[in-house]
Amino acid sequence: MEKFEHELEEFLADCRKQEFSDDEMRFICQPLVWYFRRRTLRRWTLWFFLPILVVYLLWNYCDTCAWTASAVGRLLLIQLLPYWNWTPYYYSRCLIERTDPADSKIDKPKPLGRQETLWENCVLCESLDTIPIASNVSYSLLESEYLERGLPVIVTDCRVQQDLDSLLQRIHDKAPQLLSSQPCDVSTNLLLRHLFNIDVALEKIRGFQATAASTPWHLQFRNCETKSVKASRLYTPRPYYYPHHLEPFYSSWLLMAHNMRRPLQDIYVRGLIFVQQLSGHFELHLRPKQPCDANICPNLSLRLSAGECLVYSTDLWRLSYGLQKPDPGQSSIATVLEVDWER
């Protein structure tokens, strides 16, 4: 380096002897100046990007370093809170919200409530008098002829009949996880609500069956836990027209009554609904949702007998069930399957 500086001084002294002007000196020394500038730039670039590269490698390939850096960053952000409230930026989806004056003037539709439907749907049921009946059908036929048009349909040959004893035995053998689950929408005269347990309730029913007692009872519950829904698929028969491409039901109900009148009771269900009558009968009532209930669409009443199934979509209808004339010699049992049906 000293040798280089000595040669540079000799070069400058020689140039002064020849009396070069400033412009000529600048032109002569321009390659040398650019060389030193590039060298300085490379050195600063290396010192700038090398730490960034090291941090990047540690963040991606060293979990301990990544977690430590994240924890330190969180602590620093917490210390900044008294001086700068950064929480709105943390929870917002965008750092800079984009507002479009044209879009802001458009009124967005309000979300529909449980008992509401689009008013355009009312035309689908305004001329409906009775619930159509079908048999020996495929799902594609049900979908195209009835479901897509918002019409309920009764399938008379579901072949899903099952008496109380066989149902209780099937639950005990194939779905023991159901007995320890916590159901929803419970209604029964077997136990107090805070004492309710599926296993205990079914044991009481089994005891009534063993003594041939005509004690009136009813039981309703919905399987809402994941494990109970999966368990209910083991004892709930699937109708023959339930296609393989249709996803399994996400929730299921078990409705049972014996020798007991039951007034019509609303149950809230959502999606594509399969009401399967396994034994006895239930009276069902379908009411149109608002605003179609204002003397536009009729209320539909039906009696669902063993082996029959009601299929409909909740886009348009609300469901109630009851038991007006119980049969002392036979229990009424039905299952309700809720399927996520987005069209």
Is residue 165 included in any domain, yes or no?
A: yes
Is residue 332 included in any domain, yes or no?
A: yes
Indicate whether 296 and 217 sit together in one domain. Answer: yes
**Comparing C-alpha atoms, which of 253, 248, 243, 240 is closest to residue 157?**
240
Is residue 15 included in any domain, yes or no?
A: yes
CATH of the domain at 208: 2.60.120.650
Q: Which domain holds residue 150?
A: 119-339
Indicate whether 152 and 275 sit together in one domain. Answer: yes
The tens-digit pLDDT sequence of the chain (343 residues) is 667 677 777 777 777 777 777 777 777 777 777 877 888 888 888 888 888 888 888 778 887 887 888 888 888 888 888 888 877 777 676 766 666 555 555 566 778 888 899 999 999 999 898 999 999 999 999 999 999 999 999 999 998 889 999 999 999 999 989 998 999 999 999 999 889 999 999 999 999 888 876 889 999 999 999 999 999 998 888 889 998 888 899 999 999 999 999 999 999 999 999 999 999 999 999 999 999 998 899 999 999 999 999 999 999 999 999 999 999 889 999 999 999 987 5
Indicate whether 132 and 280 sit together in one domain. Answer: yes
What are the contacts of 4-12 at 24+ separation with CB within 8 A?
none
- Rounded CA-CA distance 56/242 in Å is 53
Indicate whether 240 and 332 sit together in one domain. Answer: yes
For 170, the token pair is 């099937």
Is residue 99 included in any domain, yes or no?
A: no
Is residue 254 included in any domain, yes or no?
A: yes
- The domain tally of the chain equals 2
Indicate whether 139 and 266 sit together in one domain. Answer: yes
- Rounded CA-CA distance 276/208 in Å is 24
